[in-house]
Amino acid sequence: MNEMETYRRRVEEAATFLTARFRERPEIILIMGTGLGGLAAHLDNPQTIPYAEIPHFPRSTVTSHAGNLLFGTLGGKRVAALQGRFHYYEGYSARELTFPVRVLSQLGAGMMLVSNAAGGLNPAYAPGSLMILRDHINLIPDNPLRGINIDAWGPRFPDLSAAYDPELIDRIMACAAKLGLANMECGVYVAIPGPSLETPAETRYLRQIGADAVGMSTVPEVIVARHAGLKVLGVSVVSNVNDPDNQQPILLEEIIAQTEQTAARLVRLLLEFFKEL
Ligand code: HPA
């Protein structure tokens, strides 16, 4: 069996397992990034499955990420939530790390909402801002669709002219305005491979190529979701803002603390958004 056939069989086995476990199909896939696992506490009627119990699921190697799949409802919508994601810097290929998204997309969800913690590059941003993703730049030297295309899953050359759904962006920005949330931004996310953080020269470069925030995730998952035909909405918690002319050390503890502090605002926004969806 070739590599893609093996991958396909694994995806199908995991999807079959989850279909047997949960009778109701999720409408929305929710990916909870660094510091955002607390969103899980807001799910109604949650059912939890550790990743380790799901056939072929990867294992998280990062302590700031739990490893659970949750099914439940949020604002009345059926959600499959990934509490803990996988990153390129952990050693996974882009295809391996997007395995959960591929599996959940097979269960019939029509939308994916992805969150992450990111570093601000736009000097107008403040730490603790929420940035809705308008677009992305992939600097991770891999693509989850590299290799033989499985036509049943999506097209060989998926269009990314509107990777982040413009209507969903308008709606969530309208929700933020309605709630009167401060520091709401809409910008471009650039994904770097990590795990080392940016040098001042790299920060300057990432800003010059058009990015407003930088992180080490999200783009591979978005590519798979778009390939599978899901509408995508992305939101970054801007945990720190990097000034290349006065670069301060970027500390993981501070990223997590700031993200957790901002998570409450994100939860309010998402609950309102899901209610109105
Ligand atoms: N750089 C990259 N990833 C990040 C950062 C950053 O400054 N902050 C949070 N995730």
CATH number at 22 reads 3.40.50.1580
**Average pLDDT of 102-110?**
95
206 lines ligand 1 (CB under 6 A): no
250 lines ligand 1 (CB under 6 A): yes
Residue whose CA lies nearest to ligand 1 atom number 7:
119
220 lines ligand 1 (CB under 6 A): no
27 belongs to a structural domain? yes
122 belongs to a structural domain? yes
Q: What would the pLDDT profile of 113-131 be if each residue is shown by its tens digit?
A: 999 999 999 999 999 999 9
Model's pTM, two decimal places? 0.95
Q: Which domain holds residue 233?
A: 3-147+159-276
Give the H/E segment covering residue 202. Answer: helix 200-208
User: How does residue 76 score in pLDDT terms, banded at 50, 70 and 90?
Assistant: confident
43 torsion bin: left (phi>0), alpha (psi -120 to 50), beta (else): beta
Q: How many separate domains does the chain show?
A: 1
Residue whose CA lies nearest to ligand 1 atom number 5:
119
137 lines ligand 1 (CB under 6 A): no
39 lines ligand 1 (CB under 6 A): no
130 lines ligand 1 (CB under 6 A): no
Rounded Cα distance between 183 and 40, Å, is 24
Residue whose CA lies nearest to ligand 1 atom number 6:
119
- Tokens 């893609």 appear where? 4
Residue whose CA lies nearest to ligand 1 atom number 9:
118
CA of residue 241 to ligand 1 center, whole Å: 9
**Average pLDDT of 156-160?**
97
Kindly give the number of the ligand 1 atom that is closest to the alpha carbon of 116.
10
Q: What angle do CA 15, 193, 219 make, to 5 degrees?
A: 45
190 lines ligand 1 (CB under 6 A): no
More confident residue, 180 or 261: 180
User: How does residue 261 score in pLDDT terms, banded at 50, 70 and 90?
Assistant: confident
216 lines ligand 1 (CB under 6 A): yes
Phi and psi at 245, nearest 5°, equal -85, -10
Q: What would the pLDDT profile of 139-156 be if each residue is shown by its tens digit?
A: 999 999 999 999 999 999
With CA atoms as reference, report the closest residue to 111 among 158, 83, 79, 75: 79
152 belongs to a structural domain? no
Which of 44-48, 168-172, 254-258 tops mean pLDDT?
Answer: 168-172
Q: Which residues contact 221 (CB under 8 A, 6 or more apart)?
A: 31, 85, 97, 98, 101, 112, 114
Write the burial class of residue 125 (CB in 10 Å: 0-12 exposed, 13-18 middle, 19+ buried): buried
193 belongs to a structural domain? yes
153 belongs to a structural domain? no
